Amino acid sequence: MTLFCFSDGAVLLASMKRLLGCRSLVLFFFLEAETFRDQSERHWSAALLDSVHLAARWPVPPHRLQSSSSMGPETKTQVPLRVFFFPLMSPGHMIPMIDVAKLFARHGAATTIITTPANEPFARPAIDRANSSSPPLPHPINLIFLPFPSSVHHLLPAGHENFSSITSDDDFNKLFTALFALDTPFGHLLQSHQPDCLVSDSVFTWSAAISADLNIPRLIFHGPGIFTLCIHDNLNLHDAYGQATTFTIQDIPHDIHMNRWEVPNIFTLPMWLQMLRDAEDRSYGVVVNSFYELEPDYAELYRRKPGRRAWYIGPVSLYNESADEKAVRGLAETEHEELTSWLDTKPAGSVVYVSFGSLCVFSVDQVEEIAAGLEISGHCFVWVVRDKGPSTPEGFEERVKGRGVVVRGWVPQVVLLGHVAVGGFVNHCGWNSVLEGISAGLPMVTWPLMHEQFINEKLVNEVLGIGVTARREGQDPTVVIGREEVAGAVRRLMDGGDEAEVRRGKAREYARMARTAIEDGGSSRVDLNRLMDELSQRRDVGGEEKVEFSSN
């Protein structure tokens, strides 16, 4: 679940009303501005949401309601399952959903990815690589563009249609506003193509009403694992923001404690929470980028919740087997051959890989402390920094030359994490990074910065036991973490000792489980087959098993 920040709620609300005209979809969110500000600066804006009543209703064409008896004898076997994928325009959402689309395509589905024109560079390389694979896909993956809303297009710099390209709160607000002007063209697109299933990012709550009107089952792609979704449910049930400063999560299999500032700010927005729940109630179920063996207690806990359905089909990154497939995920701007050649010169398990994702920006002070900490840790490292963030301290890169490499921009993370020289991973606890680290068998230094990342940290450190935290217990995330703490965390991760060996052993075992899960007969492969069979059967009987939706 992703949160967004608006620095000027009144301006956004006014622009939304202008954008949406007489339609009653009025959305207004809360988002942590630390995506763009120093960690010490938090700015929140309120948001209210009326309801999701779309002015246009999308009639169901008669051919979607036909029963299997009216279909020709070859129809069921010859017509592939047609699945549309609609990811949020951000690398952390697009990359795994494109992986899911490729996975469906390999299993015979005719898949289509929907995005806006300027996001073609994020999607096209992976799609072209998949379509040229050997053996070939049964049906090539398609890419369809929704026109970027003209009412917002002129307000943003050219081509700024992805959150990774945004550098200011003002532009962020405009881009997020644009997402909610996509509802009408999206509805017309679905009405025209009539796919058998829609896989939608959870943020596009309005897609639930459209798909329901068209009798198209909607699967939700949340992003995080099932542990985090269960914690979200629990926090909502027990009024997390009404708790004491430190409290225990109730009614879950593990003894998990949280500080109030670790709770995602979405829990101050009951109407937005209700909208997400309503959209989930209207949907067919949830597709989870995880595997059952990683979170079995929480998979069972989620399954016991009335009306909840989930399919665990990950880790989806592992389905990219060749180096080329891994390298073209996202915007691989940096040639990785030079990096891998450098890693080839290092002993096995000797390098720590450091990356904080595509959206997080540190303060100048924090960048200086990270640099100093890596320098005094004594360990080899690869540090990936956001190209729009602060520069490393003067002279730092020259001093660590030969022992450390600083890379700017986007890199093929899965390729680097899988290199034999990499022995540990310092990251922000974004779910993609966590799962890619687990899949590579790497212990981690956890450094969450916002949103559900603090909950993901609990899974890594307290449930799985494969990580150490960079922050002192109870330390506020707005406080700069000093160089000695950075160096200490890296040493605990990379040095010997019984605790470090236990972490490494557990990490290797989870990597083995992950690999087994996606193989023939593995839990994720079985869940994927069950899901696709169920969707095909639903299609073949004319959608008679669709979820019943309450009217607005």
pLDDT tens-digit readout, 355-394: 998 777 788 999 999 999 999 999 999 999 977 667 888 9
d(CA 523, CA 528): 9
Which structure tokens are listed for 354? 């450091």
Residues 6+ away with beta carbon under 8 Å from 270: none
Give the residue among 221, 230, 207 at the shortest CA–CA distance from 278: 207
First to last CA, the chain: 24
Instruction: Pinpoint the residues of the chain covered by CATH 3.40.50.2000.
Output: 9-56+76-313+519-540, 333-516
In contact, 336 and 411? CB cutoff 8 Å = yes
Cα angle for residues 493, 496, 497 (degrees, 5° grid): 100
Cα angle for residues 4, 449, 353 (degrees, 5° grid): 125
- pLDDT score, position 243: 60
Annotated catalytic residue within 93, 107, 160, 336: 93
Superfamily (CATH) of domain 9-56+76-313+519-540: Glycogen Phosphorylase B; (3.40.50.2000)
Best CATH choice for the domain 333-516 from the list 3.60.15.10, 3.40.120.10, 3.40.50.2000, 3.40.50.620: 3.40.50.2000
d(CA 308, CA 321): 32
Give the residue among 256, 326, 267, 290 at the shortest CA–CA distance from 431: 290
d(CA 475, CA 448): 12
Number of H helices, E strands in the chain: 21, 15
d(CA 112, CA 517): 26
Q: Quick check: is 93 catalytic?
A: yes
d(CA 432, CA 290): 10
Provide the whole-model pTM: 0.82
Per-residue pLDDT of the chain (552 residues; tens, 9 = 90+): 333 333 333 333 333 333 333 333 333 333 333 333 333 333 323 332 333 333 334 444 433 433 333 333 334 456 899 999 999 888 888 889 999 999 999 999 999 999 988 888 888 888 998 898 888 999 999 999 998 776 666 577 676 766 666 666 777 777 777 777 788 899 999 999 999 999 999 989 989 999 999 999 999 998 899 999 999 888 877 776 666 688 888 889 999 988 888 887 777 777 777 888 888 889 999 999 999 999 999 999 999 988 889 999 999 999 876 666 656 565 555 557 888 899 999 999 999 999 998 777 788 999 999 999 999 999 999 999 977 667 888 999 999 999 999 998 778 899 999 999 999 999 999 999 999 999 999 999 999 988 899 999 999 999 999 999 998 877 777 889 999 999 999 999 999 789 999 999 999 999 999 999 999 999 999 999 999 999 999 998 876 444 333 333
Give the residue among 279, 313, 276 at the shortest CA–CA distance from 294: 313
Residues 6+ away with beta carbon under 8 Å from 182: 116, 146, 149
SS3 276: helix
Which structure tokens are listed for 59? 């009639």
d(CA 446, CA 467): 6
Cα angle for residues 108, 110, 114 (degrees, 5° grid): 140
Q: Quick check: is 201 catalytic?
A: yes
Annotated catalytic residue within 99, 201, 213, 527: 201
